[in-house]
Amino acid sequence: MNIRTPLIFCENLRRVRQQASLDLPGTARRAAMDSDRLRALEAGTSDPSLSEICALAQALGTTAAALVAHDDAQAKAAWDKEEIRRLERAWSSTPDLICVIDRDLRYVLVNDAYPALLGIPRERILGTPAGLLLPAATFEREAKPRLLRCLGGETVEWQGWFDHPRTREQIFCVCRFMPWTDPVTKAPHVIIIIREQTAQQRMLENLRESEKTTSLLFRVSNIIAGSGETEEVYPIIRRILGEVIPTEHFYVALVDHRHDRLDFAYVASDRDRDLPPVERLSRLAPPLSKDNFGDFKCGNLLTEVIRTAHPLCVTRKVMRMTGMACPGALPEVWMGVPIRVRQEVLGVMAVKQFDRHARYAKKDMDIMLSVAEQLAYGVDRRRTMADLRAAKVEADRANRAKSDFLAGMSHEIRTPLNAVLGLADLLLASRLEPEQIDYLETIRDSARHLLTVVGDILDLSKIEARRLDLEDIDFDLSGVLRSTVKTFGTMAAKKGLWLNLDLSPSVPRHLRGDPNRLRQIIINLVGNALKFTESGGVTIRVAHAEPATKTKVVLRFEVTDTGIGLPRQQSATLFNMFRQADASTARKYGGTGLGLAISRQLVELMGGSIEVSSAPNKGSTFRFTAVFAPGRPTLKTANIPAPAANAPADRAPAYILLAEDNPVNVKLAGAHLQKLGYRLSVAQSGVQALEALARERFDLVLMDVEMPGMDGVTASGIIRTGGPADHPVLDPDVPIVAVTAHASPEVRRRCLEAGMDEYLTKPINFAELAAIIQRLLPSQGKTPPAPPPA
């Protein structure tokens, strides 16, 4: 600064302060300056800095020029030059490019960064036209219009990618154009500050690219996870992928191991249509090894991707040089990536372009690989689901075959058992020697045991197939329990054991649920208790497990014995299939080990649970709970007395039609029914039954379900509709009782839906049959029609 400048400054400062009527301390405080420093400046003993001049000018409400201006033009010019040099020193310390452009668009000032960047001395830059950093066309198109706007007083910003002036590498710069007026000439200028932000911009673009890729993959993953069929996914993937990669020509090919070929699952191209599959894939893409990794003999880009399990990007020139080819029209560039899950290549996803300037970048391949990975999981999941569905279909088929086999075996076993048990009962009703009675009772007991085993096996098969359904009917709980006790009364008496029933008075008598399955559970538990008890006895207790409501009754059943008991560790596995306490138990007491397992399943179906508490030589207590609904009284009772052996003299015997094709069953049923005093007519098929019912009236029909020609269910449905049009039945409302060896709820439901009134399973309990006949027969006072003439 010129030596006179402090004097000029201090004189102007003092004058301006006095004109503003401000004292020195107040001025110093407003300028954020120490008072002693301000005294030194007013005294002219110290040189002011540019920042101090600006601060004082702001505090005094004037301009910096007013503080330093005077009549000496030479001193003012010196001040201006000093100000410029100060600015130059400040600019030189920054890495940003800073320059001043005059209205002729020439450089008048540049900082040190300019010569360093351009590799040109400062003297050669100053005075030259602006635009050294840019190609002429870019300067005219982008920079010049902005400079002219800035010369007009507008601040302008501009950013973008530029070629480095010397290395020609891409750099990203942020430019700010600010208007500035020369304080001496008053001419407009432009100050340009250029900051290079290549690293930051690349990081930002990479972040945006990563976010875009993540969003793309997330959308693809959602589409694949939410779509039911893979074929629906391909066009959506193509559309999403097309947001970042040209996918005008896009296709997906999947490996078909069964036919040893590569099939095109999806093709989207106006140049490639109906592409044929690649046959003999195993020969074209053998397993990869170190000996054949570089072997390109197959000459097919798709199979090469499958063979190496690596992505491939090939131009037309490389295809011609290597002889490699892709299906369809020859493109300018082709890129394919493997659809791979774990170590298996499921197929190839590929794109291609026909523009001669087209190219794919590495990031394009990375995106394709990521999308193909998502697609691979979708393809693999759907393939697995298809395999599971096929396995389920096969398992269902096998299960149906097993069920049909077991049902057929049950029918075949129950039919002869019906004869064995029925004839044994007939013989036991006749006069026999004690030894003969003992033999017959052994035959009957053994047949009943075999019947129980058959029933357990059928129940097991239904449980495994989850086809065991419970009935929902009203029943008498007391009758069920007392009939169960009566069933085991003889067995307990023979072993010298007591068998007691303790039914709480608060338990309702009438419930709604499945009485037969409840009876089955209790029979299993009581039968086991009696089997493993040598002295003492067995007690059955029934009470509320929780207070009853209007819609639910929860009962607790206990079966307690004084038998051999069992250790705690054996109790844990007692309810598993085919398990008994130990092998010696099976050898000594027999049994299949199914009863308790089936009981547990039945209890769970009834909404309850089952447990056992026991100790060796201290007996056992089996407890289970079951949920029922409140029931209503029913006409059916546990024990209905059978009719007398001979019909009363004042009424004619009832006339019954037996539809049965098995001669043994006909003989057995005929013997029992005739002993009960009923008249009988026999039909050996459903068709014969319809013909008989069209000829004469019957009081009741015993209908076998399985018969040749027309089964009993079909015949019953026709009877309820009045019979055939040309031979209508005489009584469509005749009571019909189904008699079948198929002991399943499905058959029972079919029978009742066909219009049958009752349902009995073989072997027939003739006491139960007699009770059903007595209940279903109409008034016995009428005289039945005479038998048809022979």
SS3 (DSSP) at 54: helix
Instruction: Report the largest interatomic distance among the alpha carbons of the chain, rounded to a whole angstrom.
Output: 161
Q: pLDDT at position 337, please? A: 92
DSSP assignment of 559-581 equals: EEE-S----HHHHTTTTSTT--S
Q: Mean pLDDT over residues 647-662, rounded?
A: 75
Using the predicted structure, report yes or no on whether residue 628 has a pLDDT greater than 90: yes
Q: Are 499 and 485 in contact (CB under 8 A)?
A: yes
Question: First-to-last CA distance in the chain?
Answer: 153
Q: Mean pLDDT over residues 587-591, rounded?
A: 45
Higher-confidence position of 148 and 575: 148
Higher-confidence position of 759 and 278: 759
**Which H or E run includes 261?**
strand 261-268
Q: Are 692 and 738 in contact (CB under 8 A)?
A: no
Phi and psi torsions of 510, nearest 5°: -100, 125
Q: What is the pLDDT of residues 340-373, one digit of tens each?
A: 888 888 889 999 998 888 888 888 888 888 888 8
Q: Mean pLDDT over residues 626-645, rounded?
A: 63
Using the predicted structure, report yes or no on whether residue 322 has a pLDDT greater than 70: yes
| Nearest of 47, 78, 662 to residue 414 by alpha carbon | 662
Is 655-776 in CATH node 3.40.50.2300? yes
pLDDT tier at 583 (50, 70, 90 boundaries)? very low
Using the predicted structure, report yes or no on whether residue 721 has a pLDDT greater than 90: yes
Q: What pairing do the DSSP bridges indicate for beta strands 498-503 and 537-544?
A: parallel
Q: Mean pLDDT over residues 534-561, rounded?
A: 94
Token digits for 395?
A: 């398992």
| Nearest of 305, 362, 307, 292 to residue 337 by alpha carbon | 305
CA gap 630, 555 in Å, rounded = 12
SS3 (DSSP) at 147: helix
Using the predicted structure, report yes or no on whether residue 767 has a pLDDT greater than 70: yes
SS3 (DSSP) at 672: helix
Token digits for 86?
A: 């100060």
Return the amino acid letter for 657.
Answer: L
CB-based contacts of 652, cutoff 8 Å, min separation 6: 780, 782, 783, 784
Higher-confidence position of 485 and 4: 485
Class of domain 94-196: alpha beta
| Nearest of 129, 204, 138 to residue 172 by alpha carbon | 204
Q: Mean pLDDT over residues 554-563, rounded?
A: 95
Q: pLDDT at position 789, please? A: 40
Q: Are 281 and 261 in contact (CB under 8 A)?
A: yes
DSSP assignment of 642-654 equals: PPPSS--TTSPPP
| Nearest of 775, 787, 764 to residue 668 by alpha carbon | 764
CA gap 372, 37 in Å, rounded = 74
Using the predicted structure, report yes or no on whether residue 781 has a pLDDT greater than 60: no
CA gap 55, 30 in Å, rounded = 9
Return the amino acid letter for 141.
Answer: R
Using the predicted structure, report yes or no on whether residue 258 has a pLDDT greater than 70: yes
Q: Mean pLDDT over residues 488-496, rounded?
A: 88
Domain ranges across the chain: 5-84, 94-196, 210-388, 469-630, 655-776
CA gap 121, 131 in Å, rounded = 16
Using the predicted structure, report yes or no on whether residue 7 has a pLDDT greater than 80: no
Q: pLDDT at position 593, please? A: 63
Q: Mean pLDDT over residues 508-513, rounded?
A: 94
Using the predicted structure, report yes or no on whether residue 732 has a pLDDT greater than 90: yes
Return the amino acid letter for 63.
Answer: T
CA gap 606, 274 in Å, rounded = 59
CA gap 344, 337 in Å, rounded = 13
Q: What is the pLDDT of residues 30-65, one digit of tens each?
A: 777 888 888 888 777 777 766 677 677 767 777 666
Q: What is the pLDDT of residues 677-712, one digit of tens each?
A: 899 999 999 999 999 999 999 999 999 988 888 999
CB-based contacts of 395, cutoff 8 Å, min separation 6: none
Q: pLDDT at position 287, please? A: 59
CA gap 512, 515 in Å, rounded = 8
**Which H or E run includes 628?**
strand 620-630
CA gap 457, 403 in Å, rounded = 10
Q: What percent of the chain has pLDDT over 90?
A: 22
Q: Mean pLDDT over residues 622-640, rounded?
A: 75
Q: What is the pLDDT of residues 124-178, one digit of tens each?
A: 888 888 877 777 888 888 888 999 999 988 999 988 888 877 777 888 989 999 9
Class of domain 469-630: alpha beta
In CATH terms, 5-84 corresponds, of 3.40.50.460, 1.10.260.40, 3.40.640.10, 3.20.20.100, to 1.10.260.40
Higher-confidence position of 774 and 66: 774
CA gap 415, 662 in Å, rounded = 9
CA gap 291, 153 in Å, rounded = 73
Q: pLDDT at position 77, please? A: 57
Phi and psi torsions of 220, nearest 5°: -60, -45
**Same CATH topology for 469-630 and 655-776?**
no
Ramachandran quadrant class, 490 (left: phi over 0; alpha: psi -120 to 50; beta: rest): alpha
Domain spanning 210-388 has what CATH number? 3.30.450.40
Q: pLDDT at position 96, please? A: 85
CA distance readout (Å), 34 to 27, 31, 56, 499: 10, 9, 12, 115
CA gap 246, 238 in Å, rounded = 9
Using the predicted structure, report yes or no on whether residue 290 has a pLDDT greater than 70: no
**What dihedral angle (degrees, nearest 10) is formed by the CA atoms of 87, 93, 94, 98?**
40
Q: Are 147 and 180 in contact (CB under 8 A)?
A: no
Q: Mean pLDDT over residues 218-230, rounded?
A: 75
Token digits for 304?
A: 């090469």
pLDDT tier at 122 (50, 70, 90 boundaries)? confident
Give the highest mean pLDDT range of 294-298, 315-319, 444-448, 729-733: 729-733
Higher-confidence position of 719 and 299: 719
Q: pLDDT at position 718, please? A: 94
Q: pLDDT at position 586, please? A: 42
Q: Mean pLDDT over residues 393-413, rounded?
A: 76
CA gap 135, 145 in Å, rounded = 15
Phi and psi torsions of 443, nearest 5°: -60, -45
